[in-house]
């Protein structure tokens, strides 16, 4: 065997034997939930798992398929998505604007900070009765409760983002005579963007938690209603189908926000690689 040929075959072998670290991590991320489902399924078949409370994954997927065929799932999903989207935007936009203002303007911070500190620890779902009182039993109260939950997380993260901007950038702004508006749009907003994105991700997670809870008690539709109603009528497989949809929503929204971050904060995502 000639030396070059051996080298070539060796390199092929090593590329098979050692896939890149990234590929390994990705593979593991996909594998871990599948393994969990497989164990669950096996447990149900063997009888270790009580299928009255924990139906096998195959049963849950079947229920999911039935819900899809009836068009029931789409209906619930759509209305929940609408509530999340509207509430999220209603919370995120003021959160960013207020967070920037608190971070940049000491006067605004003096006024708003104590209010934020005092109201942030209140569990937002505990405000639902008050919100229903103010906005009625309809969609308004759903938007409002999500917005209230989201605004805090976005505001607090934005403010931290502004305060963590390197001083040098503020010095440049001052030295080059940037207007107050330019400090907002050209320095504070882009400078705080990595932290704002973190706030949006947290806010999205909380929005999912809140919408399900809100739909438990005050709705006739939505994924939360589907879960609660299925539980009340002891259709456990449908309940799990609803839970699975929420899990998928969480996963999808995380992917969406990560993609958004890559577009909006290219200088940061480049560092991460």
| 260 binds other proteins per the rule CB under 8 A | no
- Does 174 engage in binding with other proteins (CB under 8 A)? yes
Site string for other proteins, 139-168 (x = CB under 8 A): -----------------------------x
Determine if 250 is a binding residue for other proteins (CB under 8 A). Answer: no
* Residue 271 engages other proteins in binding (rule: CB under 8 A): yes
Q: How many beta carbons lie within 10 A of that of residue 193, not counting itself?
A: 18
Specify the stretch interacting with other proteins by CB under 8 A; choose among 72-80, 144-152, 170-178, 238-246.
170-178
Q: Which sign, positive or negative, has the C-alpha torsion 18, 20, 24, 30?
A: negative
Closest alpha carbon to 120 in 153, 91, 75: 153
Q: What is the DSSP letter of 18?
A: S
Among the candidate windows 2-10, 81-89, 106-114, 173-181, which touches other proteins by CB under 8 A?
173-181
Pick between residue 176 and residue 234 the one whose CB is nearest to other proteins.
176
Size of the site for other proteins (CB under 8 A): 22
Q: Considering the rule CB under 8 A, would residue 86 count as an interface residue with other proteins?
A: no
* Whether the Cβ atoms of residue 203 and residue 95 lie closer than 8 Å to each other: yes
Give the separation between CA 141 and CA 87, rounded to whole angstroms.
10
Q: Does 191 contact other proteins by CB under 8 A?
A: yes
| Whether the Cβ atoms of residue 87 and residue 145 lie closer than 8 Å to each other | yes
Two tokens, residue 248? 């998928």
For other proteins, the closer CB: 191 or 242: 191
CB 234 within 8 A of CB 240: no
Stretch near other proteins under the rule CB under 8 A, chosen from 199-207, 215-223, 238-246, 260-268: 260-268
User: What are 7's two structure tokens?
Assistant: 């080298």
Residue of 4, 47, 121, 177 interacting with other proteins (CB under 8 A): 177
> What distance in Å separates the CA atoms of residue 155 and residue 97, rounded to the nearest whole number?
8
The site for other proteins (CB under 8 A) is made up of 168-169, 171-179, 182, 186-187, 190-191, 193, 265-267, 270-271
């Amino acid at each position: 065997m000639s030396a070059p040929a051996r080298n070539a075959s060796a390199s092929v072998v090593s590329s098979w034997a050692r896939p890149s670290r990234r590929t390994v991590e990705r593979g593991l991320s996909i594998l871990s939930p599948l393994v969990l489902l497989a164990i669950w399924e096996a447990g149900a078949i063997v009888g270790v798992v009580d299928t009255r409370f924990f139906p096998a994954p195959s049963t849950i997927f079947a229920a999911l398929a039935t819900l899809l065929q009836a068009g029931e799932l789409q209906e619930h999903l759509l209305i929940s998505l609408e509530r999340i989207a509207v509430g999220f935007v209603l919370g995120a936009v003021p959160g960013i604007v207020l967070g920037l203002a608190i971070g940049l303007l000491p006067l605004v911070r003096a006024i708003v900070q104590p209010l934020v500190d005092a109201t942030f620890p209140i569990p937002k779902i505990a405000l639902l009765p008050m919100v229903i009182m103010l906005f009625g039993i309809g969609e308004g109260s759903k938007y409002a409760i999500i917005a209230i939950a989201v605004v805090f997380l976005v505001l607090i993260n934005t403010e931290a983002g502004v305060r963590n901007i390197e001083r040098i950038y503020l010095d440049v702004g001052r030295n080059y005579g940037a207007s107050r508006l330019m400090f907002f749009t050209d320095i504070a907003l882009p400078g705080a963007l990595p932290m704002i994105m973190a706030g949006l991700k947290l806010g999205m997670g909380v929005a999912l938690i809140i919408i399900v809870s809100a739909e438990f008690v005050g709705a006739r539709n939505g994924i939360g209603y589907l879960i609660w109603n299925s539980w009340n009528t002891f259709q456990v497989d449908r309940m799990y189908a609803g839970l699975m949809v929420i899990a998928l929503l969480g996963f999808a929204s995380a992917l969406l926000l990560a993609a958004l971050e890559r577009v909006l904060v290219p200088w940061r995502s480049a560092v991460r690689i």
